[in-house]
Structure 1
């Protein structure tokens, strides 16, 4: 098992991506919204994994920053989907809470690497 696979943030990021895929499927999200949400949510665990394999704190930190930025992108997409009434407010709120937790964990990881 790789070290990143043991990280709680990685496990939570994978779960967030899975939940995003479920929203796409359950509510028949199509077009650019589907593609962007899938790509952004997938980017979160991928950048955590890639960053954990870097040798310097600066490199690792940059990947965690990209991962956190992808969390923000997902929130923006989900917000728009909720405002357009393509997903229920309850799903949006649930995902927002998960995104907030991911963002906070990643923020601490980034700050610890300064």
Structure 2
């Protein structure tokens, strides 16, 4: 069975990497931290890739773009929860240093992917 196209996208692979890294970190938190910030940050991070996948399954580029915008909003939400976790001394500097490079790469690639949807060059015509 062939992979759906979204699984080949670098931006999707980065979203998975971020979500998996966050899952690994949050899984080690105490119960209170998991129940409050942990569940929120895991859902937000998982939503990035889920929306990229869902958008790629839509029948027109407008719908795809809408879902990629939602993915971008989920990335912003993830950033928010990471800031809260760090401020509340739940995330260590080492953990932040593992996550920031992924986010710093994912953010512009997500915007580039959004801008690329629907911008398929026209085929040259024979005269």
What TM-score do the two structures reach when normalised by structure 1?
0.91
Q: Which has the larger radius of gyration?
A: 2
Q: Residue 112 of structure 1 corresponds to which residue in structure 2?
A: 116
Q: Secondary structure at 2:89's aligned position in 1? A: coil
Q: Deviations over 1:43-81 (max 9, x none)?
A: 011101001111211111111111111111111111111
Q: Residue 60 of structure 2 corresponds to which residue in structure 1?
A: 56
Q: Which runs of 5+ in 1 are unaligned?
A: none
How many matched pairs?
114
Q: Cα RMSD over matched residues?
A: 1.4
What TM-score do the two structures reach when normalised by structure 2?
0.83
Q: Which runs of 5+ in 2 are unaligned?
A: 119-127
Kept after mapping to 1: 8 A contact 2:44/2:77: yes
Q: Residue 23 of structure 1 corresponds to which residue in structure 2?
A: 25
Within-5 A mapping of 1:68-107: 68-107=72-111
Higher helix share: 1
Q: Secondary structure at 2:91's aligned position in 1? A: coil
Q: Residue 4 of structure 1 corresponds to which residue in structure 2?
A: 6
